[in-house]
Structure 1
Amino acid sequence: MSQISTATPSTTRGRPGYTREDVIRIAVNQFNTHGYEATSMGSLATTLGVTKSAIYHHITSKEEIMVAATDQALESLFDVIDSAQELDGNAKDRLTAAIGGATLVLCENPENVTLLLRLRGNTEVEKQILERRRAITRKLIQFVADAQAEGAVHSDLDAGMVARLTFGMINSIVEWYRPDGSTSPEELSKLMPDFVFKGISTH
């Protein structure tokens, strides 16, 4: 069987091994394909072609994999929020940056974000992850409310509804977007804010 290695695949000799990052990436794919609960460490070992003890040398549990993968997605989204908050422009500029940045994150990290979106809070760890996800939603709601105060967004709309509908549209990207398609992640990240603000109307 192959062995899990701390070296990159290009530096291993003979039959290639797996780095910790490789194991997490492949495990997340298995979680998204078969379900987190349905994927065991044993089935993951079989997929990798290694022994369970080889996995446990670097990964202690499925929860560790879930936390590592969702942390990457969450930290990227929090970076987007922080960058938007630091902009010198107006509230609409900050909301635009948040929408575009979140779109880019989903295009570039579809597997990790998919896992994040599918969590249901069945364990304490999942509940903690979901609370962090809700914190990002609250930030977007505030961006919307600030834009309403400036007159850039209709004030008669509920800010929470607008934020959640916007995030819902962005989150759907993981279901259909393909990086080898006609639209690049950068192009889509610019298109999404325009779509939110202008919609598809010709008027």
Structure 2
Amino acid sequence: MTTDTTGRRARRPAQGPGSLLEVAVGEFITRGYDATSMEDLSRAAGITKSSFYHHFSGKEALLRAALERAIDGLFAILDEPAAAGGTPVERLRHIVRGQVAVLCAELPYVTLLLRVRGNTDTERWALEQRRAFDGRVAAIVREAVEQGQLRADVDPALAARLLSGLVNSVAEWYRPDRPGAAELPAAVARAAFEGILPVA
């Protein structure tokens, strides 16, 4: 922060597309995407609208860039060797740990992804990507059921949604400075697959 001629602390202008994207995501989360104007974004970034347009063509381009960051992080998990090899349950554990790790690392971006409602082309694209991700997880759950690693009466699609719901709920309470944050991915995966009751 800098100090203006009146002695008040003034906002330091955001520099570069990465910083502008971070500012935009914060505004989208606070105000809601539809209620946020380019005037709001330029004011929050401490730059003019024309400077903002130098980096992004408009509000929807900002939204797309933010959602791509979250979605790319999630799909990258599925490309990791541990998500492709091993037993289905081992792969599911790895994916859940990875989802929590991405959420922790990209909290604002994942939070924004979880709040889209399909009101724009970009939001509809993001929802399709989320469904595709859940579909791939459901396919692994189905393998686990067929191999007797999960109960036979488990509906794969429901199980995939429940796993995603468990992970996504972390966004509501996780804070980077929270004690034990580094162990959180493993702890969530353990709770998902081993439960919270003591072993009999």
Same fold (TM over 0.5): yes
Instruction: State the distance in 1 between where 2:187 and 2:147 align.
Output: 22
Q: Is the 8 A contact 1:119 1:126 kept in 2?
A: yes
Task: For residue 16 of structure 1, report the CA deviation from its aligned partner.
Answer: 5.8
Aligned to 2:196: 200
Aligned to 2:41: 44
Aligned to 2:151: 154
Q: Match for 2:61: what amino acid?
A: E
Q: Is the 8 A contact 1:95 1:147 kept in 2?
A: no
Aligned pair partner of 1:190 in 182, 186, 191 = 186
Aligned pair partner of 2:56 in 56, 59, 62 = 59
TM-score normalised per structure 2: 0.89
Q: Match for 2:194: what amino acid?
A: K
Instruction: State the distance in 1 between where 2:196 and 2:155 align.
Output: 21
Instruction: State the distance in 2 between where 1:169 and 1:125 align.
Output: 25
Task: For residue 105 of structure 1, report the CA deviation from its aligned partner.
Answer: 0.5
Q: Is the 8 A contact 2:97 2:186 kept in 1?
A: yes
Structure 1 runs not aligned, ≥5 long:
3-14
Q: Is the 8 A contact 2:13 2:47 kept in 1?
A: no
Q: Match for 2:42: what amino acid?
A: A
Instruction: State the distance in 1 between where 2:13 and 2:25 align.
Output: 20
Instruction: State the distance in 2 between where 1:17 and 1:188 align.
Output: 31
Aligned to 2:161: 164
- Please list the CA deviations of residues 136-175 of structure 1 after superposition, one character each: whole Å capped at 9, or x if unmatched: 0001111111111222211111111111011001001111
Instruction: State the distance in 2 between where 1:124 and 1:192 align.
Output: 33
Aligned pair partner of 2:127 in 108, 127, 130 = 130
Given the superposition, is the C-alpha separation of residues 166 and 17 from structure 1 closer, same or farther in structure 2, using an over 3 Å criterion?
Answer: closer
Instruction: State the distance in 2 between where 1:61 and 1:20 align.
Output: 12
For 1:86-105, what aligned pairs fall within 5 Å after superposition?
86-87=84-85, 89-105=86-102
Aligned to 1:112: 109
Task: For residue 85 of structure 1, report the CA deviation from its aligned partner.
Answer: 3.6
Off by >3 Å, runs of 4+ in structure 1: none
Q: Match for 1:86: what amino acid?
A: A
Instruction: State the distance in 2 between where 1:36 and 1:125 align.
Output: 12
Q: Percent identity between the aligned chains? A: 39
Q: Is the 8 A contact 1:70 1:112 kept in 2?
A: yes
Range 144-153 or range 55-64, more displaced:
144-153
Aligned to 1:70: 67
Structure 2 runs not aligned, ≥5 long:
3-11
Task: For residue 184 of structure 1, report the CA deviation from its aligned partner.
Answer: 2.1
What is the aligned residue count?
Answer: 188
- Secondary structure at the aligned position of 1:57 is classed as helix
Instruction: State the distance in 1 between where 2:76 and 2:135 align.
Output: 15
Instruction: State the distance in 2 between where 1:181 and 1:59 align.
Output: 34
Aligned to 2:176: 179
Q: Is the 8 A contact 2:138 2:160 kept in 1?
A: yes
Q: Is the 8 A contact 2:28 2:36 kept in 1?
A: yes
Given the superposition, is the C-alpha separation of residues 17 and 48 from structure 1 closer, same or farther in structure 2, using an over 3 Å criterion?
Answer: closer
